[in-house]
């Protein structure tokens, strides 16, 4: 009978949600759900010095925002609770002692000073530091004496010194590491807590984890895990090592160098669904040429066989393209809900219908944070360069712009039912009467009522937004400024 597929996302609560961390969680979710399995959340907080207050909440919030609902975890429980390593601290020491009895681990009483000296000596010789097994030769009596006297200790894994260790990875195939490269890693620290490497293996076994997903930087340490599984006689899980995510220039992504994390991207105006869609394709490709996927579609399509070995470049321009596709695909009401917080903050003119503004913006917005920069003209008419009235394609000049604005005033004043349709019809009637092109009337009007060269929407939509009184006020200002400029040119 085939085992149920069980994956786990086991982050350390250190505050920041890296893009790589999020992709790992996503792939673990997709591997489990694509095979009708379980996705487990486990908090690995044994490294107490690196813990950041509020970091666990960030993990919960991120998974919820992304739709990665876990089946078991600290907040919802499950058959293998508790799911926080610090709450399982009494679990690990008995297993470490079992390894000592089997000859696969040993007590180490070396002081920090001795270890620092060894490390310094190796550095001075240009060698890679490895523990010298000073305590491996201690007799049973010596060990018992030291334990009885309360001398601090760690428990180290005893690595084989000859031969090699191989394992199969679902992405990279057979990986072989020479055993003499493996240091006798610490399993239990002097504070009694397990190291990440040890707790990880014990918990994965006890929780029935079948697939371990992590970054390719952990490939070389995997033999250490497998030696532990073998020592206990446990079944080794399927390893899925993911390619690195790098910047377009090939360098490593780093928060310290200003590279954005998940929550940074949201603050920058990117949609969660677009981020998830893009991250899914960083290292995995579907059989088809499809690029836009919902989470449900990703679950149906996902296959470990299509994960790449090559590093993937995180390209902000490509993410921007994905974001634009998601914005275009929204209903007007959906886009308005996303745009409204930005519009409410940016538009101080309370007479403006924000929903109408939103409709104008949807096809012209790629990232939500662009919105404020597109609507400032709705608040007030600022000084502008009169040369924007001059447009070669529209065949407008300062002179004919002035004529068009003067002709538009009585027409606009005559409109009683002020709406887009009426404004449009009346202005096009005027175009026909004057025997000019549409742009020769509409470009000057749009320029006069916005003062901007580029705006979302044209003269008619913006006039409708501003209302009759404000539109006419701005047109009169435009006329005055053009008259003054042309009089000065005479």
**Mind telling me the catalytic residues?**
255
The Cα–Cα gap between 119 and 127 comes to 9
Mark out the alpha helices in 350-419 (DSSP H runs): 354-362, 371-375, 398-414
Q: Which residues pair with 156 in a beta bridge?
A: 106, 186
Whole-Å CA distances, 218 to 215, 242, 277, 475, 482: 6, 9, 25, 66, 69
The three-state (H, E, C) secondary structure of 229-255, written as one string: HHHHCCCCCEEEEECCEECCCCCECCH
DSSP string, 452-471: -SS-SS-HHHHHHHH-HHHH
Alpha helices in 149-293 (DSSP H): 196-206, 222-232, 262-267, 272-280
| DSSP H/E element including 155 | strand 154-157
Assigned token pair, 36: 């009708």
Locus of tokens 């493996």? 182
Which residues, in sequence order, are CB contacts of 366 under 8 Å at separation 6+? 320, 321, 323, 324, 327
H helices present in 392-458, as ranges: 398-414, 420-434, 438-450
């Amino acid at each position: 009978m085939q085992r149920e597929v069980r994956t786990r996302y086991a982050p350390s609560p250190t505050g920041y949600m890296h893009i790589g961390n999020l992709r790992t969680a996503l792939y673990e979710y997709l591997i489990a759900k694509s095979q009708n399995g379980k996705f487990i959340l486990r908090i690995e907080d044994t490294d107490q010095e690196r813990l950041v207050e509020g970091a666990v909440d960030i993990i919960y919030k991120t998974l919820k925002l992304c739709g990665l609902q876990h089946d078991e975890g600290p907040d919802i429980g499950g058959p293998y609770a508790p799911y926080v390593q610090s709450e399982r601290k009494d679990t690990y020491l008995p297993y470490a002692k079992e390894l000592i009895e089997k000859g696969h681990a040993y007590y180490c009483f070396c002081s920090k000073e001795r270890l620092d000296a060894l490390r310094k000596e190796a550095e001075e010789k240009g060698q890679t530091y490895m523990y010298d097994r000073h305590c491996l030769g201690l007799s049973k009596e010596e060990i018992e004496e030291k334990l009885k006297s309360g001398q601090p200790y760690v428990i180290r894994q005893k690595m084989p010194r000859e031969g090699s260790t191989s394992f199969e990875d679902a992405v990279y195939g057979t990986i072989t590491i020479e055993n003499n490269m493996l240091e006798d890693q610490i399993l239990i620290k002097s504070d009694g807590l397990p190291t990440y490497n040890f707790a990880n293996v014990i918990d994965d076994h006890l929780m029935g984890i079948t697939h371990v997903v992590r970054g390719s930087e952990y490939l070389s340490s995997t033999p250490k895990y497998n030696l532990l599984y073998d020592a206990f006689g446990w079944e080794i899980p399927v390893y899925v090592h993911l390619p690195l995510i790098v910047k377009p220039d090939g360098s490593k992504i780093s928060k310290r160098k200003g590279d954005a994390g998940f929550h940074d991207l949201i603050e920058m105006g990117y949609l969660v669904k677009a981020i998830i869609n893009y991250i899914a394709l960083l290292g995995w490709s579907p059989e088809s040429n499809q690029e836009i996927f919902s989470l449900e579609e990703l679950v149906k399509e996902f296959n470990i066989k299509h994960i790449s070995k090559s590093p993937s470049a995180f390209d902000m321009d490509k993410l921007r393209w994905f974001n634009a596709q998601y914005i275009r695909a929204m209903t007007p009401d959906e886009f308005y809900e996303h745009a409204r917080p930005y519009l409410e903050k940016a538009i101080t003119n309370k007479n403006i219908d924000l929903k109408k503004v939103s409709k104008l913006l949807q096809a012209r917005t790629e990232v939500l944070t662009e919105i404020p920069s597109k609507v400032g003209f709705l608040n007030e008419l600022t000084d502008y360069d009169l040369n924007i009235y001059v447009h070669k394609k529209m065949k407008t000049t300062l002179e004919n712009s002035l004529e068009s604005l003067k002709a538009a005033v009585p027409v606009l004043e005559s409109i009683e039912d002020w709406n887009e349709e009426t404004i449009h019809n009346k202005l096009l009637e005027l175009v026909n009467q004057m025997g000019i092109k549409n742009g020769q009337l509409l470009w000057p009007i749009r320029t006069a009522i916005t003062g901007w060269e580029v705006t979302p929407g044209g003269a008619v939509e913006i006039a409708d937004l501003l209302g009759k009184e404000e539109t006419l006020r701005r047109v009169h200002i435009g006329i005055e400024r053009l008259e003054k400029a042309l009089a000065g040119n005479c």
